[in-house]
Structures are given as structure tokens and as C-alpha cells.
Amino acid sequence: MTAVPNANAWLVYPRPNPQARLRLFCFPYAGGGASIYRLWPSELPPDVEVCSIQPPGRENRLREKPFTHIFPMTQTLVQVLQPHLDAPFAFLGYSLGTLAGFELARELRRQRAPGPVHLFVGGRRAPQIPDPEPPIYNLPEPEFVVELRRLSGTPEAVLQHPELMQLLIPVLRADFAINETYPYTPEPPLDCPITAFGGLEDEEASQEDIGAWREQTRGSFRLQMFPGGHFFLNDSRAALLKSISEDLYRYL
């Protein structure tokens, strides 16, 4: 018998809200953890409960082996989340996290389980668009660090800290492997609306790439671009959360 995963390890509620009318599950970018979303509850509607996903290999789960493929992770997440899908819910993924939210929504549909009322995706091209860049997850360490510096997602102070990098490189490699080996399989579009966000200066995902998420829904689609590069999540946070709130109010 397969052991049921520990939901307490996977799910972080920055501000528990038992009276919430909608739950927003948030999936982190590569190398990131649940703490990315710790301040969000104060800037979203009070009837929304934020639940951050904490995959293994980071923050308080640093010593656990990270996933290297998307499907084992989403199958585990189905088991983790099912007791927490007792109210309307939405998924939000950023960069790598978009794959988790998207494939989890499709897996719930395959299992004829309740699905999200809305899917928010940010900072990643639509899943049907192949990655134009060669993979970096399996590069030798010096070349891998050069690529991390080019992508600007890891602070320079961390890149120059050997002990920290020895802790971070395994989870970064694993997360890049998820992204770079992702095998998109065509399926019917989702029924839930999709809102897609992008950064106007993001060299990793153009406005056209972000707009192609339109093909993944039968429902309404909205595209919004923000000033900044790949990490507009930080640079334009107030405007991003205002936009998310506007979409969530329709369910409240």
C-alpha cells in the first residue's frame, strides 16, 4: 500500500481563515518555496484563504529529495489536496509553478474530481510551446552557475556563497529538470477561465508565448503584462495582486 503523503509538510497557510469562501493554492517558481506567498493574504480579499505549496527539497523540507518530473509530483498533490478541496478553490502558478497548477487541474479532471474555478499562470510560456533553449539542468556545476547568473533568479550574494550553493544546487537542478523535460500531451482545453500574466521585459517568456495560454481554456481568457522582467512577481506585486483580486471577487 502506498503511504499517504503528509499534507502538513506540503501545505502552508500563512493566515488560516476557516470562514473563507474560496481557497487559493499557490505554486512556487524554480528553487522557491511557500514563503514566496507569505504576505499575500493581507493584499487579497478577506474571504480568500491563501495556501502555499511547499514541495520537498526547500526551506523547511531542505533535506527531502526533490521531484525531478512533473507527473509524480502532481499525482502526489492530488492525494495531498483532496481533503482541502471542500470549498471552491483556484490555482496560481508562477514560472515552473504554472506547470504544477496546470497539470494538477488536468489530473483532477481525469479523476473526475472537482477542479479549480480559475487558473492563474504567470511568467511561463504556454505548455504547448516547446522550449527553444537547450537544457541546463545537467550541465557541470561551473556552467550551471553561469546560467543561473544569466537568468537573474538567484541573488549574486547567494551565487558567491559556496555553502549556500551546495544546498541550493540540487533543488535547482531538480526544478529545472521538471521544466526542461516536461512532455506536453494534447488534451481538451480546461473549462475554468485562465488569467495569464507576463513581464514586458521577460526574455524567458514573450507576450506572444504568454498569450498562447488562451488555447488551454474553453472559458474566458485574460492576458495582462506588467513592467519588469521575469520576476515581475516582486517588482509589480501590488498591481499583480490587485489584478488577481479583481478576478477572485466574481466568485465571492
Residue appearing with cell numbers 496560481: 92
Q: Are 62 and 167 in contact (CB under 8 A)?
A: yes
Burial level of 16, CB count in 10 A (0-12/13-18/19+)? exposed
Q: How many CA atoms lie within 13 A of 76 on its CB side?
A: 19
CA distance 207 to 201: 9
Query: Which of 95, 152, 206, 236 is labelled catalytic?
Result: 95
CA distance 185 to 234: 31
CA distance 179 to 168: 17
User: Is 206 tagged catalytic?
Assistant: no
Catalytic residues: 95
